[in-house]
Copies of this chain bind each other. A is one copy, B any other.
């Protein structure tokens, strides 16, 4: 009996990155896996194309090629930023699922986010540096600007997997969490234990603000000088999703002026120019796009794919990965990553 065929083009990920040895063995036991370059796909024989049930990766695909993939059921986009390189309408019409696996990054990114929030609230990094330098201040004198996260006001902008992961990690802190997400109905936020709020209120009424919103065509640069000016003096701004939602120069100005503190895992250029002022800025905690890329996260991707393959094999819809939506797929504008 033939096994279902999987077309594998997962770059920049590799199957070895996303599957543990055991999972990879399991994958090959259950499926035929055709590893190939994107530009070779259209040259495959109709017979081969017609046997493809699943694609792992995000290759550019024409409607013509897709039409020849008569058995196609699901495309697992393991890069997870949806590029406009295939006719999504055609896929949706045929009921072919396009799913992303980016949810695996939610937990590691959220943990780094909490680390950043605590570091800024307690000046952890500078205090360690001072200790190294022999200039440390002992006891309460160094805590004049210190603040607890417990019972503080926390804002979250964007409430996808990452916003939810943050909320979960923060449960024990019993904070007052308000959320701005125009794509979600208020009652769903209430059910998740947070308060729905306008962007303006989230900016004005919090001690810590986490930005975990996706970039879309509409929201590029919406966090700008005017937004930062609304924030409480001395409050913390933590950027975890994509730098394009922020006007980065306005952000560094707001930190430079002493109005707010900030931390970021993402930057408008990666790497940033060596002479960029953010590199030496006081009150800015830097992370070189390393929040999500843990090996455990990549291996969770593989598990996610295996679990959804199992459902699909049994004629059920995938549920572990996140489905692209007809309405929003065209709006997403995150840049694809070029490294893991």
- The stretch of A222-230, A240-248, A249-257, A325-333 in contact with B is A325-333
> Is B286 touching A136 in the complex (CB atoms < 8 A)?
yes
Binds B, one of A22-30, A53-61, A167-175, A201-209: A167-175
Digitize A165-193: 1 where CB-to-B-CB distance is under 8 Å, 0 elsewhere.
00011111100000000111111100000
Minimum Cβ distance to chain B for residue A175 (Å) = 11
Given contacts A150-B111, A183-B316, A288-B131, A138 and B270 within 8 Å (CB-CB): yes
- Assembly CA distance A108 to B182 (angstroms): 29
Contact A128 B131 (CB under 8 A): no
* Contacting pair A188 B320 (CB below 8 A): yes
Nearest CB of B to A285, in Å: 6
Asked if A290 is at the interface of the complex by the 8 Å CB criterion, the answer is yes
**Would you call A143 and B293 a contact (CB within 8 A)?**
yes
CB pair A114 B118 closer than 8 Å: yes
Instruction: Check B317 against A326 for contact (C-beta < 8 Å).
Output: yes
Contact check, B187 vs A294: say whether CB atoms are below 8 A apart.
Answer: no
The one of B111, B280, B285 in contact with A149, judged by C-beta atoms closer than 8 angstroms, is B111
Chain B proximity of A191: nearest CB distance (Å): 9
Q: Which residues of chain A have a CB within 8 Å of any CB of chain B?
A: 92-95, 107-108, 111-112, 114-116, 118-119, 121-122, 124-125, 127-132, 134, 136-140, 142-144, 146-150, 168-173, 182-188, 270-271, 274, 279-280, 285-290, 293-296, 298, 303-304, 307-308, 310-311, 314-317, 319-320, 325-328, 337, 339-340
Q: Which residues of the other chain, B, contact A298 by a CB distance below 8 angstroms?
A: 140
> What is the CA–CA distance of A31 and B17 in the complex, to the nearest angstrom?
51
User: Complex formed: what's the CA distance from A200 to B57 in Å?
Assistant: 38
Contacting pair A185 B140 (CB below 8 A):
no
**Is there an interface contact between B286 and A131, defined as CB atoms closer than 8 Å?**
yes
Extra 10 A-B pairs, beta carbons < 8 Å, given A111-B173, A118-B118, A140-B293: A124-B287, A127-B286, A131-B286, A131-B287, A138-B270, A172-B172, A182-B314, A185-B319, A316-B328, A317-B328
A251 nearest CB across to chain B (Å): 16
- Given the known interface contacts A115-B119, A307-B186, the answer about A136 and B172 at a Cβ–Cβ threshold of 8 Å is no
Closest 8 CB pairs of A and B: A140-B293, A185-B307, A115-B118, A131-B286, A171-B172, A136-B288, A169-B172, A138-B288
